[in-house]
Chain A
Amino acid sequence: MDRFIDNIERLAALFIGIVAADVFITVVLRAFGISIPDSYNLGQNLLGILIFWGIAATSYRGTHITVDLVWANVGPRWQRAIDVFATLVLLFVVVVQTYTLFDKTLSTYASNLQTVELRLPVWPFFAVAWLGDVSAVMLIAVRTYRLVFRPELMAKQAQAVKVVE
């Protein structure tokens, strides 16, 4: 499981590198009067993919921006209860988001939306981004299970994230 999550995060990280390379190369080539077809459209769709896959990994690792004032001032039992509650709310929100994103992907497919220059269909990009949100649902479900039944695994993983940071 941890290897799967690492791979998700690496995939998102790869996309951020591609987006940066896209901008860099586009600007450099512009100086020579050359343009990459659809660099703008490809960049924005890759950005969407990287963010949803990134959110999947971030949700599992619990590294979202949070207000820790109460959490930091209660004992371990209450901390765990707060974590379980927060993760359940997160799961609910991401499930709703995934459902509505599926609808958005379907409507984009139906409208045959295309990129400006290469006329590539946009819906496959949306579908890959949506898969990131599906992964987020699965990973948050795993996080919830582990917080409730295997808390020692989450503590180990939190330590690992801290070491990387």
Chain B
Amino acid sequence: MSSDIVAVIGFVVLFALMLLRVPVGMAMGLVGVAGFGYLSGSGPALKIVGHTSMRTVTDWNFAVVPLFLLMGSFATTSGMSRELFRAANALLGHLRGGLGIATIAACGGFAAICGSSVATAATFSRVAYPEMRRFGYPQSFATGVIAAGGTLGVMIPPSTVLAVYGLITEQDIGKLFVAGIVPGLIAVLMYMATIALIGQAFQGYLPAGERTPWGERLSAMRDIWATLLLFLFVIGGIYGGLFTATEAAGMGAGGAFLLGIARRRLSGKDIRRSLLEATRTTAAVFTVLIGAILFGYFLTITQTPQKVTEFLTGLGLGRYGVLALIMVMYLVLGCLMDALAMIILTVPIIFPVIKELGFDPIWFGVIIVMTVELGLIHPPVGMNIFVIKSVVEDVKISTIFYGVLPFIITDLLRLVLLISFPILALWLPSKM
């Protein structure tokens, strides 16, 4: 059997296993090793399992993932999200649609210290949703705002998804994080503008909240110093060349812990919970990473990336045509898969195409994260939608999807903007 046919069978079996709920990493590992074994013998195939598994889990560069997850967990359990929402609400809540705008601002702030979209969506479902409902926001819009705001978690650094992209493609994670800052801010501003436009277009649809006296506004603003300090410490440290990405993650986790203790926001129980949450997610992510590296051997021996590159560049669509095709593929895959799994599975195949077409790998990292971020909110899977549903149980999934529609349009516009003007992502890293 030719290696092309083996590759096709491998992909078919992989998708079948994944659809039958075999953990993504395990399915990739199984297909990768079986395919590699078929083409090169079972001895070498078994040898790579033990070697790759141990090498992956002891690769110090990969420590960036659990450490940033831990930093996010400490930030969540120590109530930083609540402080951010209080401050944003005090400043913006009195405007028409102000509570929605405040939710986006707080999600953006929280994303700056927590690299997880799911954690951001879950946290603000508890913090912001009851407040929006209290002021008469429709259920669909309130949940839609939170689902969209949650996606900021993967865009604004530190971002777990960007870190994993950097690890797979061997790009500088620090540069990737810095590249995410301007697109992340654009995302915040465009989401806010969307809410303001809807508030203006449909009078009474998004009522204004209470006006907060200036004394309370200043008091609320004072509470967010810890979040600002943590963000400046971590991202400033990377930007200024003080830390590597892994060190920044460890300093962030340590910093979030110390801030929580000093401000008496972390009890023994909270610390245990944060450690457990970070451990669970780490184990799940590393399973996919190990599986992806094993699958990588299969891709190499079947020369799949080279063949995909030849095929796509030979279509005669031009570089932007091929890029558009790749984006569409990611949007379709987003209907089926988790963002991280999608990145880990597809980037080793797609990345050589991007290099061949002459696109900047840092810029592509930002673009790819923005695209998979869309998958977090678009039907039928939309991870953030299910997270919100698990917290706000009385809302229908279809109601949340309806509420998130304006933000999907905003995201598509932002994608076009970033593809048209790569400088928006590349300007800051060029100053490093």
**A residues in contact (CB < 8 Å) with B:** 9-10, 12-14, 16-17, 19-24, 26-27, 40, 43-45, 47-48, 50-52, 54-55, 57-59, 61, 63-71, 82-83, 85-86, 89-90, 92-94, 96-97, 99-104, 126, 129, 162, 164-165
CB distance from A78 to the nearest CB of B (A): 11
Q: In the assembled complex, which residues on chain B have CB atoms less than 8 Å from the CB atom of A129?
A: 54, 57
Give A100 to B37 CA distance when docked, in angstroms.
Answer: 14
Give A140 to B392 CA distance when docked, in angstroms.
Answer: 32
Docked-complex contact A101 and B21, CB < 8 angstroms: no
CB distance from A128 to the nearest CB of B (A): 12
B299-341 vs A, CB cutoff 8 Å, 1 = contact: the mask equals: 0000000000000000000000000000000000001111011
Docked-complex contact A19 and B338, CB < 8 angstroms: no
Give A61 to B337 CA distance when docked, in angstroms.
Answer: 20
Docked-complex contact B49 and A96, CB < 8 angstroms: yes
CB distance from B366 to the nearest CB of A (A): 23
Q: In the assembled complex, which residues on chain B have CB atoms less than 8 Å from the CB atom of A61?
A: 280
Q: In the assembled complex, which residues on chain A have CB atoms less than 8 Å from the CB atom of B66?
A: 16, 19, 47, 50
Interface of B is mostly: helix
Quick one: which of A26, A48, A97 has the most chain B CB within 10 A? Answer: A97
Known: A64-B25, A89-B30. A20 touches B54 (CB 8 A): no
Give the contacting residue for B250; candidates A23, A44, A97, A104; CB below 8 A. A23
Docked-complex contact A47 and B50, CB < 8 angstroms: no
One of B87-95, B126-134, B224-232, B281-289 at the interface? B281-289
Docked-complex contact B253 and A24, CB < 8 angstroms: yes
Give A27 to B237 CA distance when docked, in angstroms.
Answer: 11
Give the interface size bracket for B toward A. Answer: 35 or more
Quick one: which of A48, A64, A96 has the most chain B CB within 10 A? Answer: A64
CB distance from A136 to the nearest CB of B (A): 10
Docked-complex contact B246 and A23, CB < 8 angstroms: yes
Give the contacting residue for B284; candidates A22, A63, A86; CB below 8 A. A63
CB distance from A4 to the nearest CB of B (A): 16
Known: A23-B63, A27-B243. A54 touches B23 (CB 8 A): no
Q: In the assembled complex, which residues on chain A have CB atoms less than 8 Å from the CB atom of B255?
A: 24
One of B12-20, B259-267, B418-426 at the interface? B12-20
Q: In the assembled complex, which residues on chain A have CB atoms less than 8 Å from the CB atom of B357?
A: none
Give A67 to B23 CA distance when docked, in angstroms.
Answer: 8
Q: In the assembled complex, which residues on chain A have CB atoms less than 8 Å from the CB atom of B62?
A: 47
Give A94 to B29 CA distance when docked, in angstroms.
Answer: 10
Docked-complex contact B337 and A67, CB < 8 angstroms: yes
Give A48 to B58 CA distance when docked, in angstroms.
Answer: 5
Give the contacting residue for A27; candidates B21, B22, B59, B250; CB below 8 A. B250
Q: In the assembled complex, which residues on chain B have CB atoms less than 8 Å from the CB atom of A59?
A: 23
Docked-complex contact B336 and A69, CB < 8 angstroms: yes
B249 within 8 A of A: yes
Give A51 to B59 CA distance when docked, in angstroms.
Answer: 11
Q: In the assembled complex, which residues on chain A have CB atoms less than 8 Å from the CB atom of B46?
A: 96, 99-100, 103
B26-40 vs A, CB cutoff 8 Å, 1 = contact: the mask equals: 110110010000000
Q: In the assembled complex, which residues on chain B have CB atoms less than 8 Å from the CB atom of A50?
A: 66, 279, 282
One of B185-193, B203-211, B270-278, B405-413 at the interface? B270-278
CB distance from B29 to the nearest CB of A (A): 6
6 other A-B residue contacts (CB within 8 Å) besides A67-B19, A96-B49? A16-B279, A45-B58, A47-B57, A54-B282, A65-B340, A67-B341
Closest to A82 in B: B21
Give A9 to B277 CA distance when docked, in angstroms.
Answer: 10
Give A44 to B288 CA distance when docked, in angstroms.
Answer: 19
Give A163 to B46 CA distance when docked, in angstroms.
Answer: 39
B254 within 8 A of A: yes
Give A61 to B17 CA distance when docked, in angstroms.
Answer: 19
CB distance from A74 to the nearest CB of B (A): 10
Docked-complex contact B54 and A126, CB < 8 angstroms: yes
CB distance from B74 to the nearest CB of A (A): 9
Known: A19-B67, A97-B49. A65 touches B275 (CB 8 A): no
Give A111 to B411 CA distance when docked, in angstroms.
Answer: 54
Known: A89-B30, A101-B53. A70 touches B253 (CB 8 A): no
Docked-complex contact A65 and B25, CB < 8 angstroms: yes
B47 within 8 A of A: yes
Docked-complex contact A24 and B254, CB < 8 angstroms: yes
CB distance from A53 to the nearest CB of B (A): 8
Docked-complex contact B22 and A66, CB < 8 angstroms: yes
B60 within 8 A of A: yes
B390 within 8 A of A: yes
Docked-complex contact A48 and B26, CB < 8 angstroms: no
Known: A20-B253, A66-B23, A69-B336. A43 touches B280 (CB 8 A): no
B79 within 8 A of A: no
Q: In the assembled complex, which residues on chain A have CB atoms less than 8 Å from the CB atom of B246?
A: 23
Docked-complex contact B22 and A100, CB < 8 angstroms: no
CB distance from B95 to the nearest CB of A (A): 34
26 chain-A/chain-B pairs, Cβ below 8 angstroms: A10-B276, A13-B272, A13-B275, A13-B279, A17-B70, A20-B254, A27-B243, A44-B58, A54-B283, A57-B280, A58-B283, A64-B24, A65-B287, A65-B288, A65-B340, A66-B22, A69-B381, A83-B21, A89-B17, A96-B33, A96-B46, A97-B29, A97-B53, A100-B53, A101-B54, A102-B50
Quick one: which of A10, A63, A69 has the most chain B CB within 10 A? Answer: A69
